[in-house]
Homo-oligomer: A and B are copies of this chain.
């Protein structure tokens, strides 16, 4: 196939400045899905993508949901016997607070040379996931410009609620299963192993998100008058949260580890060859000591072990200075990362029962569910995976590796269950991309070679 794709790769190289312009246009749209204030911006991003896709010869449309809209697009392939692929990405982004920690405004993308020869694209969503999904669109563009056709039939699904629990996704897949059904899915929302080594993710942790609100007195109280006698909801909350782990770092919820299996020795051995250490992994964010379960490697902790994390907490007076108040309520956002066959619904119920058991009779608790999905494990040796592995290895300095992943991409499980198709998880982010954090970036190299990687993968899949 190499004869065919060389001009396509060259076209992608030549297109790069304009490809970047297009990515910048998309990044400028403030599509924060979790905050209702940005509803119109989410729609704008969807409409922008539809216009781009129509321009590339797709039949594309904005598709309504009860939340932010989906984008669906279809394009025929040149070869009748080539597979039909469903490409997935998300156009929504994380909130940007704390805004004061950004070096530049989050929605004003720019190219920055952070060390000699190393340029990055800065801005919210550059890595998660706008830069990633644009690698695919720009691969398609180069292909179309050279061959006036695509190597295989492509359906595209972009969602706008990935960062807020994807509430509309399952109903949408269910209602449109026939239209979206393909031979397999390509999902571009993951990372490379390192800047030279592409990676295909074969395992993804599941997720259960819960918000709890503890309510005590019917008003904020003066801690002098009432302190020592009135229930303090922050005490109740910290007691609940501190009780989630024992001294060995294990989660204490009853039956929490049901369905968690030890990682097979051969997989652990393969991971060990990657040379990851706690010092290297944590050192990149200023830490050095693994927290969580004792006696396990950081790869095991983040790829193969479940967690309970507090993602946010608030209660009482949090402004400048001091206020001697006993708050009327306090709340926390808690998430559990799941592995193996852990059941999200059961874990949510166990957590709620635990919380209820710790709330005094004259206080109350409210629960708000935020997403729930089981862990995903893809077969380590499918032909899909092997084809992609070879195509990626042609593009990058080092051969592609098959890895686990700590994050949760519930769509992969949804595709399995609702469309009956497997996913290939390929992405070009780096672990220092600061996704979900201030100063998010995407390597210019990731963008450029990401485009070239998809050209190679599409071509290899069509062969």
Which residues of A are at the interface with B, using a C-beta cutoff of 8 A?
Answer: 33-36, 94-95, 97, 101, 163-165, 191, 205, 207, 209, 211, 216-232, 234-235, 237-239, 241-243, 245, 278, 281-282, 285-293, 298, 301-302, 305-307, 309-327, 330-333, 335, 337, 360-363, 370-371, 405-408, 431, 434-439
Q: Are B287 and A362 in contact (CB under 8 A)?
A: yes
Task: Indicate whether A288 sits within 8 Å of B362 (C-beta atoms), given known contacts A224-B205, A298-B229, A333-B316.
Answer: yes
CB-contact partner of A407 in B225, B229, B241, under 8 A: B225
Q: Are A226 and B285 in contact (CB under 8 A)?
A: yes
Alpha-carbon separation in the docked complex, A232 to B310 (Å): 8
Q: Which residues of B contact A437 (CB under 8 A)?
A: 219-222, 325
CB-contact partner of A285 in B217, B286, B301, B371, under 8 A: B217
Q: Which residues of B contact A312 (CB under 8 A)?
A: 234, 315-318, 323, 325, 327
CB-contact partner of A245 in B95, B234, B235, B431, under 8 A: B235
Q: Which residues of B contact A225 (CB under 8 A)?
A: 191, 302, 406-407, 431
Q: Which residues of B contact A314 (CB under 8 A)?
A: 313-315, 318
Besides A219-B439, A228-B307, 14 other A-B contacts (C-beta < 8 A): A33-B321, A101-B219, A218-B286, A220-B437, A221-B436, A223-B337, A224-B302, A227-B309, A230-B282, A231-B289, A232-B310, A234-B311, A311-B327, A314-B314
Alpha-carbon separation in the docked complex, A233 to B176 (Å): 43
| Chain B residue, CB-CB nearest to A215 | B286
User: Which of A164, A237, A302, A363 has its CB near the most chain B CB atoms (within 10 A)?
Assistant: A302
Q: Which residues of B contact A330 (CB under 8 A)?
A: 313
CB-contact partner of A316 in B217, B226, B311, under 8 A: B311
A407 to chain B, nearest CB (A): 3
User: Which of A227, A231, A317 has its CB near the most chain B CB atoms (within 10 A)?
Assistant: A227
Alpha-carbon separation in the docked complex, A226 to B302 (Å): 6
Q: Which residues of B contact A164 (CB under 8 A)?
A: 321-322
CB-contact partner of A230 in B219, B287, B371, under 8 A: B287
